[in-house]
Structure 1
Amino acid sequence: MNRQRNQQRVRHESFDVCIIGAGASGAGAALDAALRGYRVVLIDRGDFAGETSSRSTKLIHGGVRYLEQAFKNADLAQLRQVRHGLAERRTVLRNAPHLAHPLALLTPVFSAFEGLYMSIGLRLYSLFARHDSFPKGEWLSRAKALEKMPTLTPGLHSAVLYYDGQFNDARYALALAHSADEAGAIVLNYTALTGFERDDQGQLTTALTQDQLTGETGSIRARVFLNCAGPYADPVRLLANPRLEPRIRPSKGVHIVLPRDTLNSNCAMLIPKTSDGRVVFAIPFGDSVFVGTTDTDYTDLEQEPVLEADEVTYLLDTLRPYLAKTPAATEVRAGFGGIRPLIVSNRADTKTLLRDHEVEHDPASGLLSLLGGKWTTYRLMAQDAIDRVGEQLNQPKPGCTETYYLVGGEKYRFDDWKSLQRRYQLDDDTSQHLMQTYGDRAEWVTQLILQDATLSDRVHERLPFIRAEVVYHVREEMAMTIRDVLARRWRLELSDWQLSALLAQPVADILARELNWTDDYCARQVTAYRMLVASFRHDAGLSTAPPAELLKM
C-alpha cells in the first residue's frame, strides 16, 4: 500500500463506491467490492482500525451469552446471531491463519449443578458449530482444571472447557485493507470526510475530504457512498441528511492488561456471571492477559474511550472469586477502551442490545449505512452492504470473500520460521513473531536486512520486534505515526504503556528517516506520544512516573 500513489489516483479518478470508515466492516466491504469488479475508494479519518476494530476482546466467537439468552427468553434473534457468528468464525480463521487460531477457554464452576448447566450449554454451542474442526469441549474435574490453569482458586468444584477463536484484530483489519488495495481498491488513512456535494435531486455526488496530516483538502466523486463508521455512523448520516434520527447507541467496553502469569496458562477463562449480569473474559495474548469487558453507555464521541480507575477496580473484583491470588492494581500494565456500535431499540440497557447489523438506505440523500454488528460477522456484514451497493448501481454481482485468503495467509506455514531464522540469522522468538504477524509476507520484512544490516537489530531486548518491521510498516502498510506502529501494527501500547513510552524514540527515529521528518517534528511527536501514554495511566489511577530506563535516556 502506497499512500502517495493512492492520493494521486484519487485526484484523477471517479468511483462506483466510496466507503467511509476503515475498520473491520469498511475494510471488509472494500475488499468485497473490489473483488466484484467495482471501482472502490476507502477512506478513514485516522489509521486503519484506529478505533473500535483494534480494541476488541480479540475473540472470534458466536457468543455464549447470546445462546443463553436465546434459550432463556425464547429469542430467535439471539439464536440466529449465534449461528451467524459460529459460521463466520470458521471463515475468519481460514482466511488469515497467521492472525487467527483456536483458543481453549475454561469456565470455573462451584457446584455439580452449575457444572452440569454450563456443560449442557457449551455442548449446545459446540453442536451449532458442528462443521468446525475445533477440538471438542469437556467437563473437567477440579484436579484437571488446576492442571490446565494452576492459578485458579482451589475452592472451585470443576471447570467446563470449550473452544472459540482468537485473533489479532488490528492486524486482521489491516490485512483486509491491504488485500483490498491489492485487489484494485484505493485505500487512504488519515483522510477525513468533511462534507458532501449533491445533485439537483439532493443525491450525494461528491465527498469533501481533508488530509489529517497536512491539512490539504480534496474531493472524491462516486456513484454510491457507503457509511461504515461504526459507532461514529450517526455523524456521517447527519452530514448526508440532517433530518435523520440517530440510530446508534454507543456502549463503552474496557479491558485491563495483567502479566501472563496471572493465569499461567495457554487457556483463557470465561467468567460466566458478574455483578452487573455480563460475562468477562481473561485471555492470554502474547506475554500478557487481557481482562474484560465492561458495558456502559457512552455519549462523548469526541473523546477517546479510556480505562478509568473505577473500571480497574471492577475488573479486579470480578476476577477475585476465580483466582487463588487476585492481582493488585499496581500489576496493571495497560488498558484500553472501545465503543460498540449498538443499534437503537427499546431494550432497557446496552447489555441486552443485539450486536446484529442492518444496511440502511436513505432515499433523500442516497447514503447507505452499515449499522451495528460485531467483529466476528464482519464479512457477512460487508457482503450484505455490497449487495445493496450493487442494487444501487444497477450492477449486481456475486461476492466471493468466503474463501479468499487475506494478505499473508495463502501460503502460510508456521514452521517456515525455521528457514527464516537460518537464512537471516535471527533469534527464534523474532522469527516466530515475524511469521505469526506477517504470514507468508514475513520474508518481505527480512529482505530489508539485505539492504541495511542494522535493520536486524531488536528495538528492545525484551521484545522480538526488529527495526526492519518499522520500515515495512511505512513502505507497505501506510504507517504514518508512532502510534500506528506501537498501538496497531505491534500492539505494544495495548499491553505495556511504559515500554511503549520507552520505544517512542527509536520508532520515531526510523519513521523520521522514512517519512522525511525534521528533527524538531520528530521530537514533538515523541513528546506528544509520551504525554498521551502518561494520561492513560493517570485516568486509570496508576502511577504516571516514567520507567527507570526512560529516565536514563
Structure 2
Amino acid sequence: MNRERNKERLRQEEFDICIIGAGASGAGAALDAALRGYRVALIDRGDVAGETSSRSTKLIHGGVRYLEQAIKKLDLAQLRQVRHGLAERRTVLRNAPHLAHPLALLTPVFSWFEGMYITIGLTLYDFFAGHDAFPKGRWLNKAQALDKMPTLTPNMNSAVLYYDGQFNDARYALALAHSADEAGAAVANYVAVTSFEHENGQLRTAVAQDQLTGETIQIRAKIFLNCTGPYADAVRLLANPNLDRRIRPSKGVHIVLPRETLQSDCAILIPKTADGRVVFAIPFGDKVFVGTTDDDYSDLKHEPVLEPAEVDYLLETLQPYLAKTPSRTDVQAGFGGLRPLIVSSRADTKTLLRDHEVEHDPASGLVSLLGGKWTTYRLMAQDAIDRVGELLNKSVDSLTETHYLVGGENYRFEDWLVLQNRYGLPTDVCQHLVRTYGNRAERVAQLAQKQPNLTEKVTASQPFINAEVVYQVREEMAVTLRDVLARRWRLELSDWRLTAQLVPQVAELMAPELGWSDEYCREQVASYQHLLASFMNKASLVAERVTTASSL
C-alpha cells in the first residue's frame, strides 16, 4: 500500500463508493466493493483499525452469552445472531489462517449442577456450529482441568472445555485494507472528513484533511458509506444535521498480565460476574489479556483508557478462579475500546444486541453501517455493499466468503523451517514472521538480508526484527510510531514500559524511510513516550514504570 500514490488517486478520480472509516467493517466493505468491480476509496482519520477494531478481546465467536439469553427468553433474534456468528467464525479463520486459529477455553465450575448446566449450553453451541473444523467441547473433572491449567483454583468442582476462535484483530483489519488496495481500492490512512459538499441535496464531495500535512483533499464519489463505528453519529450529522443520534457507545477495557498467570495455552471464560457480565482471561503472545468491562461512555473526543477502578474490578473478578490472585503490581498494560451499540429502549448496554443495521438517509444520500461486532464483519460489509449496489443500480454478488486475505493463501505454519534454512534467522523470529505476515514472511526476510543491521532483533525478549519496521513503512502504510508499536506489532497493548524503551529505536528506523528531520523525530519520540506515561499514571500502576517511561 502506497499512501502518496493513493492520495493522488483521491484527488484525481471519481469513485463509485467512498468508505469513511477503516476498521473491521470499513476495510471489509472496501474489499467487498473492490472485488465486485466498483471504484472504491477507503479513508480513515487515523490508522487502519486505529480505534475500536484493534481493541477487542481478540475472539471470533458466536456469542455464548447470546445463546443463553436466546434460550432463556426464547429470543429468535439472538439465536440468529449466534448462528451467523458461528458460521462466520469458520470463514474468518479460513481466509486468514496466519492471523486466526481455534482457541480452547475453560469454564471452572463449583458444583455438579453448574457443570451440567454449562455443558448442556455449550453442547448446543457446538450443535449450532455444525460440522466445522473446531474441536468439540467436553466436561472435564478436576484433575483433567488442572492438567490443562495448573493455576486454576483447587476449590473448583470441575471445568467445562469448549472452543472458539482467536485472532490478531489489528493485523486482520490491516490485511482487509491491504487486500482491498490490491483489488484496486485507493486506501489512505490519516485522512479526515471535515465537511461535505452537496448537489441537489445529495452528497457528491467529501472535503478531507491530511492529518499529517494539513493538506486539503476533495474526494468525489457517487455514494458515501459511513463505517466509523462508535463515531458514526458525527459523520451522519455532518451529512445531515437533522438526523437523530443512533449510537450509544459502551466502553470496554482489558488489563494485561504475565503469561505465567495461566501457565496454559487455554483461556478462561468467567460466565457470570456480580453485575451480569462475561469476562475472559486469554493468552495472547507472551501475555494474558483479561476483560472486558461494559459501561456507558460519552466522551468521544478522548481515547478511552484504563482506570484504577477497572483494574481492581477485573482482578477481583479473576480472583475466585485462580489459586493465586494476581495483584495490581502484576498489571503490565491495558487498553480500552468502544462498542458501537445501536440505540435501543433497553435499559443498559449489557443487554443491547451488537447486531448491525444498514441505514440510508434519502435526504443526503449517506449510507451508514451501524452496530455489529468483529465476528460478523464480513456479513455486515456484504449487506452494506448490497445496499450501495442497489443505490447505484449496479448490483453485483459478493465474492468475499472464499477470498483469501493478504498472506493467507497456501499458508502453512511449518514454512517457518524453510525461512530458517534459507535465511538463518532464529527460530522465534521465523515463527513470528510466518504468523504475522503469512505467505509474505519471506519478503521481510529478503529485506533483512540487504542491510546487516536489519536482521537484528529490536529487543532480546521479543521476536521482532528491524527489517519489519522498514517493511511496515514501505508495504503496510505505517507512518507513525504508534502504527508500528501498537498495531503492526501489538507491543503497546501488552507492555507499556518496554514499548516506551523501544520508541527511540523504532523512530531511528522509520525516520530515513519517511524523511523525518532530527527535530521531528525527537518530537515524535517525546510525544509517544508522554502518552504511554499518561496511560500508566491514569491507571495508577507502579510509579517506577511511569518514571522510566517519562525519563527516556
Scaled by the length of structure 1, the TM-score of the pair is 0.99
Please say if residues 105 and 269 of structure 1, whose CA atoms lie closer than 8 Å, have aligned partners that are also in contact. Answer: yes
Secondary structure class of the residue paired with 1:215: coil
Give the corresponding residue for 2:52: 52
Give the corresponding residue for 2:350: 351
Alignment partners' CA distance in 2, 1:424 and 1:525:
33
Offset of 1:547 from its aligned partner? 7.9
Give the corresponding residue for 1:117: 117
Give the corresponding residue for 2:67: 67
Counterparts of residues 140-539 of structure 1 (less than 5 Å):
140-199=140-199, 201-539=200-538
Offset of 1:131 from its aligned partner? 2.2
Relative distance call for 1:550 and 1:385 in structure 2 (3 A) is closer
Name whichever of 511-520 and 22-31 sits farther off.
511-520
Alignment partners' CA distance in 1, 2:12 and 2:273:
55
Corresponding letter in the other structure for 1:118: I
Alignment partners' CA distance in 2, 1:501 and 1:411:
37
Offset of 1:319 from its aligned partner? 0.3
Please say if residues 96 and 408 of structure 2, whose CA atoms lie closer than 8 Å, have aligned partners that are also in contact. Answer: yes
Alignment partners' CA distance in 2, 1:12 and 1:521:
30
Please say if residues 343 and 371 of structure 1, whose CA atoms lie closer than 8 Å, have aligned partners that are also in contact. Answer: yes
Secondary structure class of the residue paired with 2:402: coil
Offset of 1:325 from its aligned partner? 0.5
Q: Deviations over 1:385-434 (max 9, x none)?
A: 00001001000000010000000000211011011012111110000000
Corresponding letter in the other structure for 1:137: G
Corresponding letter in the other structure for 1:267: C
Give the corresponding residue for 2:97: 97
Offset of 1:59 from its aligned partner? 0.1
Give the corresponding residue for 1:6: 6
Corresponding letter in the other structure for 2:420: Q
Offset of 1:543 from its aligned partner? 2.4
Alignment partners' CA distance in 1, 2:440 and 2:547:
36
Alignment partners' CA distance in 2, 1:254 and 1:14:
40
Give the corresponding residue for 2:129: 129
Alignment partners' CA distance in 1, 2:382 and 2:34:
12
Please say if residues 28 and 176 of structure 1, whose CA atoms lie closer than 8 Å, have aligned partners that are also in contact. Answer: yes
Identity, % of aligned pairs? 74
Offset of 1:275 from its aligned partner? 1.1
Offset of 1:545 from its aligned partner? 3.0
Offset of 1:541 from its aligned partner? 1.1
Q: Deviations over 1:493-513 (max 9, x none)?
A: 000000000000000001101
Offset of 1:551 from its aligned partner? 9.3
Please say if residues 151 and 263 of structure 1, whose CA atoms lie closer than 8 Å, have aligned partners that are also in contact. Answer: yes
Q: Deviations over 1:216-248 (max 9, x none)?
A: 011100000000000000000000000000000
Please say if residues 110 and 157 of structure 1, whose CA atoms lie closer than 8 Å, have aligned partners that are also in contact. Answer: yes
Alignment partners' CA distance in 2, 1:258 and 1:303:
25
Corresponding letter in the other structure for 1:299: S
RMSD of aligned alpha carbons: 1.1
Offset of 1:450 from its aligned partner? 2.6
Alignment partners' CA distance in 2, 1:77 and 1:9:
42
Q: Deviations over 1:190-213 (max 9, x none)?
A: 0000010001x2000000000000
Alignment partners' CA distance in 1, 2:10 and 2:304:
32
Offset of 1:548 from its aligned partner? 9.2
Alignment partners' CA distance in 1, 2:549 and 2:215:
36
Alignment partners' CA distance in 1, 2:550 and 2:532:
15
Alignment partners' CA distance in 2, 1:456 and 1:547:
31
Please say if residues 416 and 434 of structure 2, whose CA atoms lie closer than 8 Å, have aligned partners that are also in contact. Answer: yes
Secondary structure class of the residue paired with 1:545: helix
Alignment partners' CA distance in 2, 1:521 and 1:438:
30
Alignment partners' CA distance in 1, 2:449 and 2:289:
37
Q: Deviations over 1:99-151 (max 9, x none)?
A: 00000000000000000000000000000001211111100000000110000
Corresponding letter in the other structure for 1:73: K
Give the corresponding residue for 1:22: 22
Give the corresponding residue for 1:540: 539
Alignment partners' CA distance in 1, 2:290 and 2:10:
42
Corresponding letter in the other structure for 1:54: S
Alignment partners' CA distance in 1, 2:497 and 2:209:
33
Name whichever of 415-424 and 254-263 sits farther off.
415-424
Offset of 1:481 from its aligned partner? 0.5
Give the count of matched residue pairs.
Answer: 552
Offset of 1:8 from its aligned partner? 1.2
Please say if residues 252 and 295 of structure 1, whose CA atoms lie closer than 8 Å, have aligned partners that are also in contact. Answer: yes
Give the corresponding residue for 1:78: 78
Alignment partners' CA distance in 2, 1:92 and 1:504:
32
Alignment partners' CA distance in 2, 1:402 and 1:469:
30
Alignment partners' CA distance in 2, 1:123 and 1:273:
18
Q: Deviations over 1:54-96 (max 9, x none)?
A: 0000000000000000011111111011001000000000000
Relative distance call for 1:384 and 1:450 in structure 2 (3 A) is same
Please say if residues 256 and 494 of structure 2, whose CA atoms lie closer than 8 Å, have aligned partners that are also in contact. Answer: yes
Relative distance call for 1:510 and 1:290 in structure 2 (3 A) is same
Scaled by the length of structure 2, the TM-score of the pair is 0.99
Offset of 1:13 from its aligned partner? 0.6
Alignment partners' CA distance in 1, 2:537 and 2:23:
28
Offset of 1:552 from its aligned partner? 9.8
Offset of 1:11 from its aligned partner? 1.3
Secondary structure class of the residue paired with 1:193: strand
Relative distance call for 1:128 and 1:537 in structure 2 (3 A) is same
Alignment partners' CA distance in 2, 1:3 and 1:128:
43
Alignment partners' CA distance in 2, 1:117 and 1:280:
18
Offset of 1:549 from its aligned partner? 7.9
Secondary structure class of the residue paired with 2:302: coil
Q: Deviations over 1:293-319 (max 9, x none)?
A: 000000000000001000000000000
Offset of 1:544 from its aligned partner? 4.1
Alignment partners' CA distance in 2, 1:317 and 1:69:
25
Secondary structure class of the residue paired with 1:163: strand
Secondary structure class of the residue paired with 2:269: strand
Alignment partners' CA distance in 1, 2:551 and 2:16:
54
Alignment partners' CA distance in 2, 1:7 and 1:218:
8
Please say if residues 254 and 290 of structure 2, whose CA atoms lie closer than 8 Å, have aligned partners that are also in contact. Answer: yes
Please say if residues 536 and 545 of structure 2, whose CA atoms lie closer than 8 Å, have aligned partners that are also in contact. Answer: no
Corresponding letter in the other structure for 2:190: Y
Alignment partners' CA distance in 1, 2:326 and 2:24:
33
Alignment partners' CA distance in 1, 2:449 and 2:285:
28
